[in-house]
Amino acid sequence: MNTPAASLESIPVRQIKGVSAPKEQELHAFGIYTAQDLLNYFPFRYEDYRLRSLTEVKDGEKITIQGVIRGLPMVARFGKGKARITAKTEIDGQLVTAVWFNRMFIKDQLQLGREITLTGKWDAHRMQITVVDSEFPDKGTAKTGTLQPVYSVGGGITQSWMRKTIRQALEQLGPLLQENLPEQLVRKYRLMPRQDAVFHIHHPDDPKDGQGARRRLVYEELFLFQLKLQAYRMMNRRKADGIVHRVDPEIIRQFAASLPFELTDAQKKVVNEILADMRQPFAMNRLLQGDVGAGKTVVAAIALLAAVKAGHQGALMVPTEILAEQHMRSLTRLYEVTGLQTALLTGSVSERKRRDLLAGLQMGLIDVLIGTHALIQDDVIFRSLGLVVTDEQHRFGVNQRSILRRKGPSPDVLTMTATPIPRTLAITAFGDMEVSTIKERPKGRIPIQTHWIKHSMMDRVFGFIRREADAGRQAYVICPLIEESEKLDVQNAIDQFVQLQQQFPDLKVGLLHGRMTTSEKDEIMKAFGDNEVQVLVATTVVEVGVDVPNATLMIIMDAERFGLSQLHQLRGRVGRGSHASFCILVADPKTETGRERMAVMQDTDDGFEVARRDLELRGPGDFFGTKQSGMPDFKLADMAADFAVLEVAREDAAELAAEGDFWTSDTYAGLRAMLAKDQIFQGEQLD
């Protein structure tokens, strides 16, 4: 009788032969705790020890070659403890000089007539090999003829120890590796079986074999990642424990008619998508993307209205207080005709006010609560939270969103972002969300003209400010944030502020930075909003969402320090009214991509196009920095190189999760167990 197969995850790495207690500690630093972790510790490249002949190698190449020692070793000492050993070696019928540096121990092994394999750099002119590694066939040649894995190592873990230990683990526990992909997919893509793949990624027979192993393991990694998202999504739909918002279309029509503008077709389309989801019995999880100024706020306002009219409450969570206050103002204005009660909750609301507000919220006197992170505190309790909207999603962690979500039984969630990405990317990267996109901007907007200017031409910048100010318009001057030193940033902004004050004694110049108190910030934003301040010098605190339609000039200092999407966001602060607007990038970029970014900004003011070019410049890997997207750090897969695989894996995972069989058949019990272990189901029973 076989003992039941132990799971590799439950075998501590210590149980592998050769792993002592101190070594185990060292392995922990690499995130290796279990046998599974060790087997999944893949090499990042290989060293080629395959035998070649002298005729096929070029000067300067690294080779592994077999020969016979024909001359006694000669030692030359130089410097302190340094030595050079040479020995004439016969290779392919020629006499070659083998050279070792600082390997005194090798001397006694170099006996006349002994066979040896040498690995090193070939110098064709001197007929010489500088040896980095050698083996003697009479002692066994473990490396010769192979591709040797190269692992990321350090501390007390050496390359050769890691090789030996992983090899040992493969021999000892390799048979426990089980296929974890559905058979039909293994067949469809002719994937290497898992056991083979794990073995061959560590020890490929040849490069093609290594690639085959990698192909299989990359697919596995991406498929399992997508399966989690897709299963979560299906589960959510099957559970159907969301709120069915019964929305009277007439109320929505009336509200739309009360707006000072007509909704664009794109807005109408996404409103319909959102309302259709809200009527469903499962909880909505939808991403709303649209360029800056596309008009996402009013879409959110309609969705929140629908939730309230269906008898529930809504929450709108934004990343900054300035933005929260602005949303508070615009929603209160939009809702004037509806009788909806809005309230603002931020960190700077006084304790007394906060208490009243929380009581009102719990009693259902407040319909829509707008605020910052303050919304996710424990004592914020809704009577019946039906819809959560978060704005500028990349600034919130997935965790914060899910805490907010848990404040209702299973509220609908709408996530808004102004960093639009192509649809295929979006549905792939945010695999558990539905995606709505506002493509067109409201009509009648005059495109923003963007100019790139060198620091030496600041006079032209002053000229721009003068011209706009004389026409009654206003300007932003943005100073970059230097991560390491907030103090320096602030100083930088203050210097700019002083200089502009001197330059324009007749204008009111304002200053806004992160070190100011909330009430100071509010005051200055209000003054800018009321055109009491004409020129606002600010660090990036204004980046998100600020809406001052009379501002027509955006000047970005040291623009090369900003990423493309951030530049585009900043630029979106102007061009919000009926006047022509300008964006001036002051920059002397030192790198090619820096110049490229300035060029992209001058070429287009379409956020999707900016995102596309950004993606081109950086590649999806960087574009989806884990911080921004919530994408996991893949072990093997590379978001840039393997993006096509990710798309395929997503389709396969979605298809599988949609099959009834997946949720019931024994065939998929292993995959379901894996999902359960990853807490995809948050304690719910599956079968």
> How far is residue 62's CA from residue 72's CA, in Å, rounded to a whole number?
24
What angle do the packed helices 607-623 and 592-603 form, to 10 degrees?
A: 150
Applying CB under 6 A, what is the total number of residues that bind ligand ADP? 17
What is the rounded CA–CA span in Å between residue 35 and residue 10?
Answer: 8
Binders of ligand ADP among residues 417 to 476 (CB under 6 A) are: 418, 442
Q: Which of 35, 292, 369, 490: binder of ligand ADP (CB under 6 A)?
A: 292
Taking 3-state DSSP, the helix, strand and coil percentages for the chain, each rounded to the nearest 5, stand at: 45, 20, 35
Nearer to ligand ADP, 267 or 539 (CB): 267
Please write down the long-range contacts of 215-218, taking CB distance under 8 Å and 24 or more positions apart: 215/191, 216/191, 216/192, 217/42, 217/636, 218/636, 218/637, 218/642, 218/645
Closer residue to ligand ADP, CB minimum distance, 27 or 323: 323
Taking the complex as a whole, how short is the minimal distance between the CB of residue 400 and ligand ADP, in angstroms? 20
Report the C-alpha gap between 97 and 74 in whole angstroms.
11
474, interface contact from ligand ADP, Mg ion, none, CB < 5-8 Å by kind? none
Question: Quick one: 119 or 267, whose CB is closer to ligand ADP?
Answer: 267
Tokens 């998508």 belong to 273
- Residue of the chain from 314, 545, 589, 620 that contacts Mg ion (CB under 5 A): 545
Tokens matching residue 475? 């300007």
Which of 27-35, 162-170, 436-444, 539-547 is the region at the interface with Mg ion (rule: CB under 5 A)?
539-547
Expressed in angstroms, the distance from the first to the final Cα of the chain is: 30
The residue nearest ligand ADP at its CB is 295
- Name the minimum Å distance from CB 296 to Mg ion: 5
Pick between residue 259 and residue 359 the one whose CB is nearest to ligand ADP.
259
Show the tokens assigned to 133: 């590694």
The site partner of 292 among Mg ion, ligand ADP, none (C-beta below 5 to 8 Å per kind) is: ligand ADP
Instruction: Determine the 3-state secondary structure of 213 from DSSP.
Output: helix
Q: How far is the CB of 249 from Mg ion (least distance, A)?
A: 25
264 sits near ligand ADP (criterion: CB under 6 A): yes
Give residues with Cβ within 8 angstroms of 677, minimum separation 6: none
CA distances from 90 to 98, 145, 438 (A): 10, 19, 73
b/e sequence 424-457, b meaning 16+ C-beta within 10 Å? ebbbbbbbbbbbbbbbebbeeeeebebbbbeeee
Considering only residues 570-629, where is the footprint of ligand ADP by CB under 6 A?
A: 576
Pick between residue 326 and residue 410 the one whose CB is nearest to ligand ADP.
326
Question: From the list 8, 27, 298, 511, which residue makes contact with ligand ADP (rule: CB under 6 A)?
Answer: 298
d(CA 313, CA 411): 10
> What is the DSSP annotation of 247-274?
--HHHHHHHHHHSSSPPPHHHHHHHHHH
Query: Which residues within the stretch 330-349 sit at the binding site for Mg ion (CB under 5 A)?
Result: none
Rama region for 53: left / alpha / beta (φ>0; ψ in -120 to 50; rest): beta
For the bound state, the minimum distance from the C-beta of residue 482 to ligand ADP, rounded and expressed in Å, comes to 27
Closer residue to ligand ADP in complex, CB, 330/362? 330
CA distances from 275 to 247, 249, 262, 283, 305 (A): 8, 9, 18, 12, 11
**Which residue bears the tokens 């021999």?**
171
CA distance 492 to 513: 10
> What is the Cα–Cα distance from 225 to 646, expressed in whole angstroms?
9
Toward ligand ADP, which CB reaches closer, 334 or 657?
Answer: 334
Q: What distance separates the 2 farthest-apart alpha carbons in the chain?
A: 101
**Contacts of Mg ion in 387-426 (CB under 5 A):** none
Query: How many residues touch Mg ion (CB under 5 A)?
Result: 1
Residue 544 contact, options ligand ADP, Mg ion, none, Cβ 5-8 Å cut-off depending on partner type: none
Among 73, 242, 293, 510, binds ligand ADP (CB under 6 A): 293
Between 43 and 545, whose beta carbon lies closer to Mg ion? 545
| Smallest distance from ligand ADP to CB 442, Å | 3
Q: Which is nearer to Mg ion, 323 or 564 (CB)?
A: 323
**Which residue lies nearer to ligand ADP by CB, 264 or 428?**
264
Residue pair 287/417 in contact (Cβ under 8 Å)? The answer is yes
Site stretch for ligand ADP (CB under 6 A), options 8-16, 258-266, 529-537, 643-651: 258-266
Of these, 34, 297, 437, 474, which contacts ligand ADP (CB under 6 A)? 297
Binding part of the chain for ligand ADP, among 42-50, 255-263, 485-493, 562-570 by CB under 6 A, reads: 255-263
Instruction: Scan residues 547-576 and list those touching ligand ADP (CB under 6 A).
Output: 547, 576
Q: Which stretch binds ligand ADP (CB under 6 A): 259-267, 398-406, 428-436, 529-537?
A: 259-267
- 314 touches, from ligand ADP, Mg ion, none (C-beta below 5 to 8 Å by class): none
Q: Is 521 one of the binding residues for ligand ADP (CB under 6 A)?
A: no
CB of 434 vs Mg ion, minimal distance in Å: 20
| 284 close to 278: Cβ distance less than 8 angstroms | yes
Pairwise CA distance, residues 233 & 653, whole Å: 11
- Is the Cβ of residue 64 or residue 297 nearer to ligand ADP in the bound state? 297
If contact means CB under 5 to 8 A according to the sort of partner, which of Mg ion, ligand ADP, none does residue 459 touch? none
Strand 147-150 and strand 45-48: the pairing is antiparallel
**Which option in Mg ion, ligand ADP, none does residue 51 bind, with CB closer than 5 to 8 A by kind?**
none
Which of 132, 263, 674, 686 is the binder for ligand ADP (CB under 6 A)?
Answer: 263
Asked if 301 interacts with ligand ADP (CB under 6 A), we say no
Residues 548, 528 contacting (CB under 8 angstroms): yes
Query: Residue 658: in which H helix or E strand, if any?
Result: helix 643-658
Least separation in angstroms between CB 461 and ligand ADP: 26
Q: Which parts of this chain interact with Mg ion (CB under 5 A)?
A: 545
Q: Which parts of this chain interact with ligand ADP (CB under 6 A)?
A: 261-264, 267, 290, 292-298, 418, 442, 547, 576
